[in-house]
């Protein structure tokens, strides 16, 4: 019948019992099979590898799970949807109405399954987008109140997936400011595990809205069944992993219902965030490449365009700068080979000048004392030297010591009769308020409109929410604040992105606070951590790259000793980890010795030669820093004509036992010339026996490479180029 290939509409009349019908959601290599059973309820019967004849999957049900569970008459576990109807009834029983599938493009199909409560006019539409080549599914839910009076939603998950395996292991990502994206894996046992955020804003700071579920064994890089999921949402989120009394697992994903009961008026619809998920039977490596390929095409702004190498003034000047000092930095940047200069925090505020982080935030007028000729002067200085200009903003926040706060103290998120608790000497603006939404949009719009020639915007957000109250929302809808903030934030981001498609935007958020695909569709780059210490960066970048593409991963060479860790590391080591992502620098040319300057200049030029492979290539993880004293990973371009292999010694060994580095992703039939790059000319190479050798992809992926690394903070980068 091949119904998964065509548009279908199945209409089932109420109270009519009929044979089961199936709705396949397929990509090139995976299949999610849904079933309408003889009681007119939607079930999940299969999710896994796609077989050549999908019809066979409907002959024998592999499993029978509710596809979108509700708090009702028989469900006794955590529910995807819980609603309180106008008459006080707390149960919901959803019956199937229809299903339709359409082709949105050559690569994307969309299936909509319509459900309705069997008594009340409560409608639930489940949306599935299937990205064929990337093997990514995107799911969200739209809940509509058709009743005459309002209803309350206490649970409103985006996705409800179920599994039946012998064992379940979940990996999640956690940390804090300057220590983001650490990986933790544990086995799930009977009961429920919740991974969530209640921070409201920059909500990925402690725990990230991504998970890796491994079936039957702990997660492995190149084998085993893996489901990777990440929520496209910059606000509070929740993943609930519940193993029931029959050892079956249900995974609920979506916006966090904590303190977020949502009232729907008549004919009002709530659209939940999207869960993006992918199945791999070849381990986490295949899952990562699925997400990276999807992201470069659909998930990140300008995912197919080259990124500029930038110099930031922050660690050099912090708030202490003026026109002559910045002009000197711009001149140094151009001479060293940078393509963009970024002016960070401190350029605004007059009545309350932004000379530290305790004043001026919210007053987005150029500081006349520091910059008497304004931003256009700096733009011109950059363009005269053929480099681009970027600027820092934090439009969602305000210092109490500001003109904005004096005029609009009611615009901040705060509870009445409670202390207004500050973080970084600032408060959150209330984006549930339409006036505040317009203000935040106008902040960015005015800066770009009045200063034509700005090429880059670093959008920061340096605190999360305490005291979550809104002076705009009515008393009975205060619990809407968390959800509405994120919804309106993305609307503002969308509006800005559409108006300024050629401006590059970085999602900063104090480092790692807002790295999600809800935000990233409007941003070209993401700042995963304020901590540029290379040892810390190895782990932070390793974690973030499971779901997020290298093309957006901004990584900077900073001063040594590092301003956060205090650790002293070689310049080459700092450069190598930054070159393994999207290269930038906070270390200033004027702070370098002649030798360091020459090395940096050459490293920047080298990066420009390999960045297409690094930023656009497929990532293959070879040795994990969590399991080995050395970490190794590599990028391979689409044509498999070039690869770049990064090696970092994470922990010094007294008696090293060098591992064999078995490469991946190459063409076994091609020949490759091996070359160590970004080498300090005064250092002896560990790679001498391989230097200049021509070896087949088959050799490199079977026999591999074997060389010692044992000095503290030692790194080695290998370039492989096809030889005809």
Could you give the angle at the alpha carbon of 232 between the alpha carbons of 231 and 236, nearest 5°? 70
Q: Please give the pLDDT value at position 683.
A: 84
pLDDT, mean of residues 231-236: 98
Instruction: Identify the weakest region by mean pLDDT among 52-66, 129-143, 709-723.
Output: 52-66
Query: Residue 72 — very low, low, confident or very high, per pLDDT cuts 50/70/90?
Result: confident
Query: Residue 223 — very low, low, confident or very high, per pLDDT cuts 50/70/90?
Result: very high
Q: Please give the pLDDT value at position 8.
A: 36
Choose the catalytic residue: 117, 455, 524, 530: 530
Tokens linked to 87: 């008459």
pLDDT, mean of residues 361-386: 98
pLDDT at 10 over 90: no
Catalytic residue flag (residue 530): yes
Per-residue pLDDT tens over the stretch 451-493: 999 999 999 999 999 999 999 999 999 999 999 999 999 999 9
pLDDT, mean of residues 63-84: 93
Helices marked H in 621-712 — which ranges? 697-702
Tokens linked to 353: 């000048």
Q: CA-to-CA distance for 627 and 563, rounded, in angstroms?
A: 28
> 431: Cβ–Cβ under 8 A, 6 or more apart, which residues?
396, 437, 440, 484, 485, 488, 489, 492
pLDDT, mean of residues 79-88: 97
| Percentage of the chain exceeding pLDDT 90 | 93
Per-residue pLDDT tens over the stretch 646-662: 999 999 988 888 999 99
- The CATH number corresponding to 620-723 among 2.60.40.1180, 1.10.4080.10, 3.20.20.70, 1.10.10.10 equals 2.60.40.1180
Per-residue pLDDT tens over the stretch 683-715: 888 999 999 999 999 999 999 999 999 899 999
State residue 227 phi and psi, 5-degree precision. Answer: -120, 120
Per-residue pLDDT tens over the stretch 483-499: 999 999 999 999 999 99
Q: Please give the pLDDT value at position 19.
A: 54
Q: Please give the pLDDT value at position 618.
A: 98
Per-residue pLDDT tens over the stretch 28-50: 999 999 999 999 999 999 999 99
Catalytic residue flag (residue 160): no
Query: Residue 681 — very low, low, confident or very high, per pLDDT cuts 50/70/90?
Result: confident
Q: CA-to-CA distance for 211 and 201, rounded, in angstroms?
A: 20
pLDDT, mean of residues 354-377: 98
The answer to whether the beta carbons of residues 499 and 507 sit under 8 Å apart is: no
| Percentage of the chain exceeding pLDDT 70 | 97
- Domain limits of the chain? 3-299, 620-723
Q: Is residue 278 classed exposed, middle or buried when 0-12, 13-18 and 19+ CB atoms within 10 A define those classes?
A: buried
Tokens linked to 61: 């049900």
pLDDT, mean of residues 51-56: 92
Question: Which contacts qualify for 523-527: CB closer than 8 Å, 24 or more apart?
Answer: 523/300, 523/301, 523/459, 523/493, 523/552, 524/300, 524/301, 524/302, 524/305, 524/307, 524/552, 525/307, 525/552, 525/553, 525/554, 525/582, 526/552, 526/553, 526/554, 527/458, 527/554
Query: Is 620-723 the same fold as 3-299?
Result: no
Choose the catalytic residue: 117, 135, 430, 460: 460
The answer to whether the beta carbons of residues 194 and 238 sit under 8 Å apart is: yes
pLDDT, mean of residues 428-446: 98
pLDDT at 542 over 90: yes
Give bridge partners of residue 95 from the DSSP assignment.
116
Give bridge partners of residue 151 from the DSSP assignment.
264
Per-residue pLDDT tens over the stretch 275-296: 999 999 999 999 999 999 999 9
CATH no. of 3-299: 2.70.98.60
- At 283 the three-state DSSP class reads helix
Q: Please give the pLDDT value at position 16.
A: 38
Per-residue pLDDT tens over the stretch 87-127: 999 999 999 999 999 999 999 999 999 999 999 999 999 99
Considering only residues 18 and 676, tell me which one the structure prediction assigns the higher pLDDT: 676
Q: Please give the pLDDT value at position 655.
A: 84
Which residue matches tokens 């925090």? Answer: 345
Model pTM score: 0.96
Per-residue pLDDT tens over the stretch 144-193: 999 999 999 999 999 999 999 999 999 999 999 999 999 999 999 999 99
| Residue 220: its H or E element | none
Q: What rounded mean pLDDT belongs to the chain?
A: 95
């Amino acid at each position: 019948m091949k119904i998964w290939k065509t548009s279908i509409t199945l209409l089932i009349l109420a109270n009519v019992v009929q044979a089961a019908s199936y709705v396949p959601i397929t990509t090139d290599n995976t299949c999610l099979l849904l079933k309408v059973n003889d009681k007119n309820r939607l079930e999940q019967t299969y999710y896994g590898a796609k077989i050549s004849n999908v019809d066979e999957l409907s002959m024998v049900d592999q499993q029978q799970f509710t596809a979108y569970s509700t708090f009702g008459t028989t469900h006794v576990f955590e529910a995807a949807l819980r609603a309180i109807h106008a008459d006080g009834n707390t149960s919901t029983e959803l019956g199937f109405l229809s299903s339709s599938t359409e082709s949105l493009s050559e690569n994307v199909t969309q299936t909509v399954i319509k459900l309705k409560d069997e008594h009340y006019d409560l409608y639930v539409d489940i949306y599935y987008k299937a990205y064929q080549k990337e093997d990514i599914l995107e799911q969200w839910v739209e809940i509509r109140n058709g009743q005459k009076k309002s209803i309350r939603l206490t649970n409103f998950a985006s996705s409800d997936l179920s599994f039946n395996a012998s064992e379940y292991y979940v990996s999640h990502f956690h940390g804090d400011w300057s220590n983001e994206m650490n990986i933790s894996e544990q086995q799930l046992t009977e009961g429920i595990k919740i991974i969530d955020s209640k921070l409201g804003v920059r909500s990925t700071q402690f725990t990230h809205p991504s998970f890796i579920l491994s079936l039957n064994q702990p997660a492995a890089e190149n084998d085993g069944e893996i489901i990777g999921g990440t929520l496209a949402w910059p606000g509070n989120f929740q993943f609930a992993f519940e193993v029931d009394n029959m050892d079956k697992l249900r995974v609920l994903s979506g916006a966090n219902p904590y303190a977020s009961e949502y009232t729907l008026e008549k004919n009002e619809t709530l659209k939940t965030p999207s869960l993006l998920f992918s199945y791999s039977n070849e381990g986490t490596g295949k899952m990562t490449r699925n997400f990276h390929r999807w992201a470069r095409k659909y998930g990140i702004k300008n995912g197919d365009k080259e990124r500029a190498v930038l110099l930031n003034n922050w660690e050099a000047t912090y708030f202490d700068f003026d026109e002559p000092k910045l002009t000197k930095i711009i001149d140094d940047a151009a001479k060293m080979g940078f393509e963009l200069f970024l002016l960070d925090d401190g350029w605004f505020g007059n009545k309350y000048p932004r000379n530290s982080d305790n004043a001026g935030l919210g007053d987005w007028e150029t500081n006349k004392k520091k910059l008497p000729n304004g931003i256009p002067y700096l733009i011109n200085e950059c363009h005269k030297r053929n480099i681009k200009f970027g600027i820092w903003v934090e439009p969602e926040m305000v210092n109490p010591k500001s003109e904005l706060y004096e005029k609009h103290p009611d615009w901040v998120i705060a509870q009445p009769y409670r202390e207004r608790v500050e973080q970084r000497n600032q408060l959150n603006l209330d984006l549930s308020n339409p006036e505040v939404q317009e203000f935040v949009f106008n902040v960015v719009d005015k800066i770009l409109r009045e200063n034509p020639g700005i090429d880059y915007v670093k959008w920061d957000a340096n605190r999360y929410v305490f005291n979550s109250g809104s002076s705009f929302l009515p008393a009975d809808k205060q619990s809407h604040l968390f959800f509405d903030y994120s919804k309106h934030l993305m609307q503002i981001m969308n509006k800005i992105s559409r108006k300024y498609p050629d401006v590059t935007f970085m999602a900063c958020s104090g480092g790692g606070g807002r790295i999600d695909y809800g935000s990233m569709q409007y941003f070209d780059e993401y700042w995963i951590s304020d901590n540029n210490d290379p040892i810390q960066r190895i782990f932070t970048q390793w974690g973030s790259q499971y779901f997020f593409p290298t093309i957006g991963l901004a990584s900077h060479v900073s001063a040594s000793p590092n301003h956060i860790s205090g650790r002293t590391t070689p310049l080459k080591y700092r450069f190598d980890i930054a070159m393994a992502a999207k290269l930038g620098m906070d270390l200033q040319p004027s702070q370098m010795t002649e030798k360091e300057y020459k090395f940096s200049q050459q490293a920047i030029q080298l990066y420009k030669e390999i960045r297409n492979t690094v930023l656009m290539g497929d990532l293959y993880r070879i040795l994990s820093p969590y399991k080995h004293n050395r970490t190794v990973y590599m990028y391979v371009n689409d044509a498999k004509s070039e690869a770049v292999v990064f090696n970092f010694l994470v922990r010094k060994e007294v008696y090293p036992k060098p591992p064999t580095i078995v490469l991946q992703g190459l063409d076994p039939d091609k020949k490759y010339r091996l070359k160590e790059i970004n080498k300090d000319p005064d250092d002896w190479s560990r790679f001498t026996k391989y230097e200049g050798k021509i070896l087949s992809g088959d050799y490199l992926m079977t026999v591999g490479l074997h060389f010692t690394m044992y000095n503290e903070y030692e790194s080695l980068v290998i370039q492989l180029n096809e030889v005809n």
